[in-house]
A and B are shown apart, each in its own frame.
Chain A
Amino acid sequence: MSSTPPSPPARHAGKATLCWQLTASFFRIGLFAFGGGASVIPVLRDEVVTRHAWFDEEEFLDIYTLGSTLPGPIGSNLAGYIGFRLAGAAGAIIALAASVLPTAAAMIFLAALYSAYRDNVLVAGFLEGVRPVVIALLALVAVSFIRPSLGTRKDGWHFGVKLALVAVMFCLTMFSGLNAAVLIGISGAFGLAVLR
């Protein structure tokens, strides 16, 4: 882990421009996160790390860690936080609204159509084809998290311990059915005891 203090997010523009960028970004994020839950992560990462460089890889990992440690929908939690970091309270409200409202409205307006289209082959086919894309993109995000979360082999035994932690926690998630918050608590305590 680097010992440099967190750099403020790169601000490439004035606040008004930034608010527009936030609106457009989170509108896209809300619109293309098919598959619920974690499917928002690849699109989100692409917008805030790759496209706008608002955060670097390590900051994004920390933001994601916080979002998945605390309760609530991760997509809207991260939208609120990222908006706040970039443009204060106004930014938080803008990013939340832009990511949540369009599909909320779609949910309300299109619900009446649902019974007519519920068994539509095209809709089912579209969703089936999107799923493997989301899997591949999520796997790439997981890979991008490896370096900032594990370090490299040069870090010595810390690297080995963290690698083992990934494997152990993966198995615990799969077989113990323990809540994510519990696992995060356990490993935080483990870090405190071992990784000093």
Chain B
Amino acid sequence: MTDVLDLFVSFLRASILGFGGGPSMVLLIQSEVVDLHGWLSNAEFLDAFAFGNALPSPIATKLAAFTGYHVAGWPGAFAALLGVAGPTAALVILAAGLFMSRRNNPVLKAIIAGVRPVVVALLLYVVWDFLVEVFGTELSSWLANWYLLAIAVASGWLMQRYRVHPVPLIIGGGLVGMLVAVA
């Protein structure tokens, strides 16, 4: 029972301190799970992280489910998931409620006007970060990965021009990747 409670508290702590979304939380989760409680060895954690990256949806919730189940079965998985996702979601609901009801307040409007461009900048940076991760910074590595570039251009074009749903594009990209891998 103490394990279940510890799981909830640990993942709550990682979640509430994790600004900037899932990836920034991985280090916090690692320090809770490996360093503080010793629930997983570092090698086990890295394996779980690598495996989690192969599955869809946020990494933090997958690490929570995996660690919780590993430590205390289904109750553990549930407690860790609740800790990682529940309180911050409640916080967003609360904050959004306050924000939406004061949306026309001139002070708040000025703040939002300043914040919106930054959110765009942060998202553009994510795109840039992904680009460097996939293609590197050398022109030669961009050319060597020409088929990945072709996938990016084709899927962007199909989405923009023909309103193709993201899901078939994601599956299609994955299938092309598989074909190239075996060819």
User: How far apart are A68's CB and chain B's nearest CB, in angstroms?
Assistant: 6
Question: How many residues in B have their beta carbons less than 8 Å from beta carbons of A?
Answer: 101
Residues of A within 8 A of B114 (CB): 165, 187-192, 194-195
Residues of A within 8 A of B51 (CB): 107, 110-111, 114, 118
Contact of A71 among B15, B99, B103 (CB under 8 A): B15
Question: How many residues in A have their beta carbons less than 8 Å from beta carbons of B?
Answer: 114
Interface status of B134 (Cβ within 8 A of chain A): yes
Interface status of A166 (Cβ within 8 A of chain B): yes
Interface status of B119 (Cβ within 8 A of chain A): yes
Contact of B111 among A67, A123, A174, A192 (CB under 8 A): A192
Interface status of B5 (Cβ within 8 A of chain A): no
User: How far apart are B30's CB and chain A's nearest CB, in angstroms?
Assistant: 15
User: How far apart are B84's CB and chain A's nearest CB, in angstroms?
Assistant: 7
Interface status of A53 (Cβ within 8 A of chain B): no
User: How far apart are A99's CB and chain B's nearest CB, in angstroms?
Assistant: 6
Q: Is the CB of A140 within 8 A of B96?
A: no
User: How far apart are A137's CB and chain B's nearest CB, in angstroms?
Assistant: 6
CB within 8 Å for A107 and B167 given contacts A73-B88, A149-B116 = no
User: How far apart are A58's CB and chain B's nearest CB, in angstroms?
Assistant: 9
User: How far apart are A90's CB and chain B's nearest CB, in angstroms?
Assistant: 13
Closest A residue to B63 by beta carbon equals: A107
Q: Is the CB of A76 within 8 A of B58?
A: yes
Interface status of B37 (Cβ within 8 A of chain A): no
Interface status of A24 (Cβ within 8 A of chain B): no
Q: Is the CB of B123 within 8 A of A80?
A: no
Q: Is the CB of A75 within 8 A of B169?
A: no
User: Restricting to A135-163, which residues have a CB under 8 Å from any CB of B?
Assistant: 135-142, 145-146, 148-150, 158, 162-163
Shortest 8 CB-CB distances between A and B: which pairs? Answer: A191-B114, A129-B177, A72-B88, A125-B181, A80-B89, A104-B65, A136-B156, A149-B116
Complex A-B: 11 CB contacts under 8 Å: A33-B58, A37-B58, A72-B18, A73-B58, A76-B60, A76-B85, A77-B88, A80-B93, A138-B127, A162-B113, A166-B118
Chain A residues with a Cβ under 8 A of chain B: 1, 3, 5-6, 28-43, 46, 50, 61-81, 84-85, 92, 96, 99-108, 110-111, 114-115, 118, 121-142, 145-146, 148-150, 158, 162-163, 165-170, 173-174, 179-181, 183-184, 187-192, 194-196
